[in-house]
Amino acid sequence: MEIIASPPATATTRPQWLIVHYHRPDGDYADWVLHAWGDLAPGADRRYPDGAPFAGEDAWGRFAWVRLADDAKEVGFLILGRQGAKDVEADRWVTLSEGSEIWVTAGERRVGTEPPELPQPGEETVVIHYRRPGGDYAGWGLHCWEGVPVTEKTRWHRPHMPTRFDAFGAVFEVRVRPDAVGLRYVLHRGEEKDLADDQRLDLTVAREAWLVAGVAQPVRPDVGTLGPEIDPARAYAVFIDRGTVALPEWFASRAVSFTLGSLPLVPRPGGLFQEQSRRFPHLRAYRAFAVRELGDVALGEMLRGRLLVAGHDSAGEVVALTAVQLQGVLDDLYASAAGAELGPVVDDQERPRLSVWAPTARTVELELFREPGEEPRVLAMERDDVTGVWSITGKRKWINRWYRFRVQVWQPAAQRMVTTSVTDPYSVSLATDSTHSQLVDLSDPALCPPGWADAVRPEAVPPARMQISEVSVRDFSIADVTVPADERGTYLAFTRHSSAGMRHLRSLAEAGLTHVHLLPVNDFATVPDRRADQAAPLCDLASFPPDSTEQQRAVMAVADTDGFNWGYDPWHWTTPEGSYATDPAGTARIVELRAAVAALHTAGLRVVLDVVYNHTMGDGLDRFSVLDRIVPGYYHRLLADGSTAESSCCPNTATEHTMMGRLVVDSLVTWAREYRIDGFRFDLMGHHPRANILQARAALDRLRPDIALYGEGWNFGEVAYDARFAQATQVNMAGTGIGTFNDRLRDAIRGGAAFGDDPAVRGFATGLGAAVPLWLHDQIKVGLSGALATFRFVAHDGVEHSGAQIGYHGAPAGYAHQPGEAVNYVDAHDNEILYDAMAFKLPPGISQVDRARMQVLALSLVVLSQGAAFVALGTERLRSKSLDRNSYNSGDWFNQIRWDPALGNGFGVGLPPEADNGDKWDWARPLLGDPALVPSPDVIELAAERYRELLRIRRSSPVFGLPTAEEVERRLTFPAGGPGEQPGVIVMCLDGSGLDPHWARLVVVFNATDGTVRPAIPGPDRLRLHPELTGSIDPVLRAATAFEVPRRSVAVFVDDIP
C-alpha cells in the first residue's frame, strides 16, 4: 500500500533524431517522403528529391525521422511527393534548441512543436514498435521482466510475439503493473539478440517506443539510449564494504574518473583483495575502487538515500551513470545486527516489544490496530544506529492486537522515496489474507490444543532409516467424505482419528513409515484464506469424457482464485497458512496446526515441513512483497544490473547475506521449538549457501539434534557451480549428514529425465524389461547403496568401480559420504506422479495387476535401498493426476486423493491443464480414454498392501538402512554383476552376520522382465522366502523361490542363522 511518494528523477540528453509527424486527411501517405538538410549525421542527407519515408504510425497519422549530427542546431525540410511535388512550397526550418519533434498537417505551413492531445496506451499497457528494414519478422519476439506482473514474465524460449503489425513494423503490447516505473526487455529470435545489451524503457518518460533493428537509440522517445551506460535505474556498481566499490570492466572503461555521490573513487591496482574475492567470487573480474572511509553515522546516513556512481570524461561531462548495490556494505556496517532481537517478543513481565531491521529507512513507525479494518494508531519507533534495528516496547494490552510497519525508504523499484505500510517479515500470526501481522505470545497456553503440554513425539529415527511420505494438507482430505465438510482440506483433518486418510496413515506407520512430509504450511500468497472467497469450477467436471479438454478449461478458469495451490509462493515464512485453518483470522491457525502435529505424533509419525526460503512471491512494491519494502535490494539476489535474479521462476532471495541467512535460521528454530517439527525439506536447497544450511543445522542441534534436514541439491541458475558461494548442492553437502534428493536413482528407475520432451522413454521399472542396458544396472546399484561415492562393485564392463566413477549426465552417480545423505525417491509432488509416468511408458495391453506389480517394483527400489526413502502419498495406492506433470495450480480436481477406490485413482478425469501439458496431449488422449488404465478397487488395495509389505520387510532387519558407508561397503554386494548379468534382473545381497539377530543373509531379487527368471544367487539352497511374503497379498509371490522369481516383481529371501 503506497501512501506517499516524492516525484521521480528525470534525465535529459541531446536529441538524436529530427522527427516530423505528418497528418493527411485523405490517409494516403504512400508517395510522400521527408527531405531534410542541414545539421544531419553523416550519410543521413539524401539527394533531392529523395527522402525518408513516413513509415512511423501513430494516432496523429505518420511520422518520418532523420539522424542528427552530434552538434546539430538547425535542420531544414520539405515534404515531397515521389515525383517532386511539394506539400508546402516554402522551405521550413527547425531550431533544435526549441525541440526536435514537430507536427505538420498536409497543405498547412504551420509547424507545431507541442504534441497534440492524442490517445495514449492504458495505464497498464506498454507498446513497443519494432521495425526491421528488411521486413523479416519471423521468430522475433520480446522477452521482458521488470515492470510486468509475475504471470506476464516471459521465458526466454517463449517470448511475447507481435500483437499486430502497422506501417512501422511489429507492434508488441505488454501488460505492466500499475506501479511499474520501467520495462526491461530484449528483442530476440532464439539466441540472436537485436542489441547485445538488455534495454530499459523508463515508464516515467514514455509508455510507447519506436525502435529500429540494430540501432541503440530509439526513434521515439528521443532519449538517446535505452541501454545500460547512463541509466540510474540500473545498479552496476557494488559497494562491497565500507572502503571498496567494485565496477564491471565495461563500465569502468567508459570514463576517466568516478564519484560515489560526492566522494571520489580511487582506482585500486590489482583489483579486489583476496578476502573480498572469496566473499564475492562473481566480482573477481571487476575493477576495485577505494572510497574514503566514513564514520559509522555518516556512512549510515549516506546509505539512507539515493546513491549513484557517476563516470566523467576528461572534460568533466557525465558519460556513465549507475545506481549502487548495497548488500555488502550493509553487512559490513551493521554486522552486530546478526545478534539483535527481531520480530515480536513478550518479555517476562508480559510487555510486548516489536523490532524490525530497516537500516536504509528514513523513518519507521508502528501502525497499531484494534481490528484490521479500523484506522491505526501511529507510533514512532526508535532507531539503533549500531544495528539499524527500529524497535518499540508496548503495553500488555497490545497483545493480540494487529500491526504493520510504516516505512519511508528510497525504493529502486519506484526510483523515488516511498512510504509504504508493510507487515512484519517475522510475523508469527496474521489476519485473514495476511493483511496485518498480529502481536501474539506463542508460549501462551491459550494457543495450545488440549494435551499439548504432555504430548510425546515418536522416537528419533536415524536419517538412513527414514521412510517418508509427502502430502499437501489440502490434498490429504479435501475429498475425504469421512471428515466433516468444514474440516476437509484443513489441519484439523489430521485430528480425525477414524477418517479414511488417518486410518491409512496409521496403517503405514504400523508397517514402518516414519515421517509425514507436509508441503508448505507457512503463509503463502496465491489462495484466498476464507472458503467463502475461494472460487470453484462452474460445471460438473465428472460429466465430461475422460479425455476431454473441458475439465482443465473449467479448472484453470478459476485456478488463481480457487482454494488450491502447492504453496511454493511464500509470503510470511513463520506463520501457518490461513486457508488450511477453519478460521484464518488470527490464532486459530496456530492452535490447529499444533493439533495436527500432535495427532500425527500420536499416529506414530514424525512431521517434516517443506520450507521455501529461496524465493519470494514478489519484490519491489508488488502486493506480495514484504522484505523489499523494508530494505530494498538487500534480501533479494541481484544480477549484474541490479535486477532481481529469478532462476527459481520467482524473485530469488539472497541467503548469502547475513540478515537473510539469519531469517532462515530464526524461522526454522521457531517452527521446531513452537510447533515441535521433526524435520525440514529445503526447496531448491542448491540456491542456498552450504554455510547457511550448516548454520541452520547447528542452531537446530542446540535445540534438538534429532531434527532431520534434507533438500533439493540442484545446481543451476546464477549461483551454479559455486559462482557466488559454495552451494548446498548434492556434491557439496556430502559429509554434512544433510540429505539431498537422489535424481540418479529416480531417472534410472523411471527412464528419461525430469524435463524430457518424450514422456515414453522407459527405465528399469517402466517397461524396458529384458532390454535394460547394463550400464543402467550400474546406476541403480549405486542408488541402492545410498548414492555412496566410495561404494565399490563390479560394473557392467567387468571392472570394479566406485559409485563416484559411475557417470550420470557428466556428474558422478555416487556422491554421498554416508547413506543417510541420500533421499531416494521415484516420484514427488512435481513432475508426473509414478502411476502417470508408467501410463506413458509401460507397453500397451499390460494388465492392471501387472501395472500394479511394476509400480510396486519401482517403489521397492526406493524402500529397500540404503539411505532415506521418499514417496508421494497415494503412490502406494496407484494415485494419478490424470497425466498432469506440474499440478501446482491445477485445482482439487487433478490433485485430490480419492480415498474411496470405487471412485478410481484420479486417472482419466480429463486432459491435464494445457499450459504445462498441451505439448503432450497427443500422447495423453488415447491413454486417458482407455478405461482399462483405471485400476479396480482390488488392484488399488493390492498395491497398497504390497507397499506395506515392503515397509515391514525393511523394518524387519537392520541391514536395510545401515548407518555408515563402512557398514554398507562391508555388507552390501551384487554377486551377479559384470558383463554376463541378466538384463532387467538385479540380485542384491545383504550380510546380516553380527548385526541381524535372525538372519545371516538377506537376498533381494528385482525382476523387471516379463518372464520368470532363475537368478544367479550364491548358495540358493539355504534361502527361504521372507516370512512377510509367505502370506503376501500377491499370490504369485507366495510361490517364489531362490530358484524362480516371478515376472515384474521383487522377492526377498532370508538365510537363517544356524
pLDDT digits (tens, 9 = 90+) for 29-51: 988 999 999 999 999 989 999 99
207, 53 in Cβ contact below 8 A?
Answer: no
Place of cell 507498446: 127
Q: Indicate whether 767 pLDDT > 50.
A: yes
Same domain, 256 and 358: no
Q: Indicate whether 143 pLDDT > 70.
A: yes
Strand-pairing partners, residue 811, are 808
Q: Indicate whether 223 pLDDT > 80.
A: no
Residue 5: predicted pLDDT: 37
**pTM: predicted TM-score of the whole model, two decimal places:** 0.92
* pLDDT, average across residues 298-307: 97
Q: Does residue 312 form part of some domain? A: yes
Q: What is the mean pLDDT of the chain?
A: 95
784, 814 in Cβ contact below 8 A?
Answer: no
660, 653 in Cβ contact below 8 A?
Answer: yes
User: Domain boundary at 405, 425, 447, which?
Assistant: 447
Residue 13: predicted pLDDT: 65
List active site positions.
Answer: 683, 712
CB-neighbour burial class of residue 328 (10 A; exposed 0-12, middle 13-18, buried 19+): buried
- Residue from 169, 171, 233 nearest 201 by CA: 233
Helices first, then strands: H and E counts in the chain = 23, 53
352, 415 in Cβ contact below 8 A?
Answer: no
CB-neighbour burial class of residue 810 (10 A; exposed 0-12, middle 13-18, buried 19+): exposed
Residue bearing the bigger pLDDT, 263 or 120 = 263
Distance between CA atoms of residues 137 and 189, nearest Å:
9
C-alpha cell at 773: 542396458
Residue 967: predicted pLDDT: 98
Residue 4: predicted pLDDT: 39
What is the SS3 assignment for 679? strand
Same domain, 378 and 314: no
Same domain, 220 and 267: no
Q: Does residue 579 form part of some domain? A: no
110, 120 in Cβ contact below 8 A?
Answer: no
- Residue from 838, 685, 689, 683 nearest 749 by CA: 838
C-alpha cell at 629: 519494502
- Residue from 614, 635, 591 nearest 683 by CA: 614
* pLDDT, average across residues 474-492: 98
Q: Does residue 977 form part of some domain? A: yes
Same domain, 994 and 850: yes
Q: Does residue 930 form part of some domain? A: no
Q: Does residue 755 form part of some domain? A: yes
417, 362 in Cβ contact below 8 A?
Answer: yes
If you ran DSSP here, which 8-state letter would residue 714 be given?
-
Q: Hey, how many other C-beta atoms are within 10 angstroms of the C-beta on 88?
A: 16
Q: Does residue 720 form part of some domain? A: no
Distance between CA atoms of residues 997 and 636, nearest Å:
54
Give the domain extent around 193. Answer: 125-227
303: CATH: 2.60.40.1130
In percent, the amount of the chain with pLDDT more than 90 equals 90
Same domain, 871 and 762: yes
Q: Does residue 394 form part of some domain? A: yes
Residue 186: predicted pLDDT: 96
Q: How far is CA 369 from each of CA 321, 346, 497, 650, 874, rounded to the nearest angstrom?
A: 43, 18, 39, 32, 44
C-alpha cell at 836: 502417470
Cis-peptide into 49, omega within 30 deg: yes
Same domain, 147 and 202: yes
Same domain, 221 and 345: no
* pLDDT, average across residues 539-552: 97
pLDDT digits 0-9 by tens, 719-736: 999 999 999 999 999 999
pLDDT digits 0-9 by tens, 819-875: 999 999 999 999 999 999 999 999 988 999 999 999 999 999 999 999 999 999 999
Same domain, 939 and 824: yes
Q: Indicate whether 149 pLDDT > 90.
A: no
In percent, the amount of the chain with pLDDT more than 70 equals 99
Question: How many structural domains are present in the chain?
Answer: 5
Q: Does residue 422 form part of some domain? A: yes
C-alpha cell at 150: 509475475
Same domain, 439 and 351: yes
Same domain, 185 and 276: no
Q: Computed over its alpha carbons, how large is the radius of gyration of the chain?
A: 33
Same domain, 170 and 44: no
The full length of the chain comes to 1058
Of the listed ranges 7-21, 91-105, 237-251, 467-481, the least confidently predicted one is: 7-21
Strand-pairing partners, residue 264, are 259
824, 779 in Cβ contact below 8 A?
Answer: no
Same domain, 872 and 993: yes
